[in-house]
Amino acid sequence: MALPRVVVFGEALTDIVQGNPGEWRGYPGGAPWNVARGLARLGVTSAFGGAISQDGLGDEIAWQSETAGLDTRFLQRVAADPLVAIVPSSRPPRYFFAGEADLQFDPALLPEGWLEAAEVCHFSCISLARYPLADTLLNLARQAKAAGKRLSYDPNWRNLMDDRYRQQTFPELVRLADDIKLSDEDIRQIYPGLDERAALDELRALNPQARILFTRGEHGLVLYTPDGEWQQPAIAVDVVDTVGAGDASMAGWLASGLLGLTDLQQRLRFAAASASVSCRHAGAYAPTRADVEALLQVSPH
């Protein structure tokens, strides 16, 4: 069996969300896992490199990984409490994390030859702020860069990212990355006190060669490259919720290049359509290539 073109590293977790008071539901998620699953559903051979528990919550993540078409040789099952995000309130957002299965990820257990075969390695979210996992992943990012692989990075800001993350982890990953996706909310958290333009200037100064995919929710996307910038409006759909839309746009952006699109405006439209398809569904829905192409056929340019 051939090894995957993209390996996404980080956390997979279960969101435990309270809707009405006393009513809780569990949803498999985690930004890196969402991106990996999205890539596979869009037709790119992909894997999620991370550790999950051996209980029922881990079973659900493993089953959905296999169903999506991920290479499950990269998914490690460990005897530890599952990582969960407890979400007592979505509006306003309140959440905290518990569990430690993700912290036991061991790169030595990855399939032999994976790095030689990979074209892209992606890193994001709380895995880069949970130790010792963060140090493990930073070392993997350095190794992948030294091996000439393309790196992508999405900070996906969460409340456990502290000054150490802001001052050390974030700038190092920005300097390593070829593709960086971040949202307007990320910018506000990472560069408090700066307006959007000034914050983006600070970011671009860290790595002038990177392509930066900046997402503004319903206001669309902007791509910054060393050669200029491209704008893409959001593609209007009937929105059920926006959970996972940013992860879907990240998957769409990476997949579009690996599927053969070279025009940057077309790639932006593909990323925007991926996000919009996700918004049509409850939870972190991973769109298929057919979903995205169907929306692109009926949406205006």
Give domain status of residue 48, yes or no: yes
Range of the domain at 265: 6-295
- Please provide the average confidence, as pLDDT, over all residues in the chain: 93
Give domain status of residue 158, yes or no: yes
Give domain status of residue 163, yes or no: yes
What confidence tens digit (pLDDT) does each residue in 219-274 have? 899 999 999 999 999 888 887 777 778 999 999 999 999 999 999 999 999 999 99
Give domain status of residue 279, yes or no: yes
Give domain status of residue 250, yes or no: yes
* Residue 162 belongs to domain with CATH number: 3.40.1190.20
Of residues 173 and 218, the one with the higher pLDDT is 173
- Of 264, 252, 192, the residue nearest 222 (C-alpha): 264
Count of domains in the chain? 1
Give domain status of residue 25, yes or no: yes
- Of 226, 44, 228, the residue nearest 119 (C-alpha): 44
The distance of Cα 117 from the centroid of its chain, to the nearest Å, equals 21
Give domain status of residue 1, yes or no: no
Rounded-to-integer distance, Cα 152 and Cα 150, Å: 7
User: Which tokens belong to 117?
Assistant: 């075969």
State the average pLDDT over residues 75-86. Answer: 97
Name the β-bridge partners of 120.
Answer: 6, 150
What does the pLDDT read at residue 62?
Answer: 98
State the average pLDDT over residues 15-29. Answer: 88
Give domain status of residue 300, yes or no: no
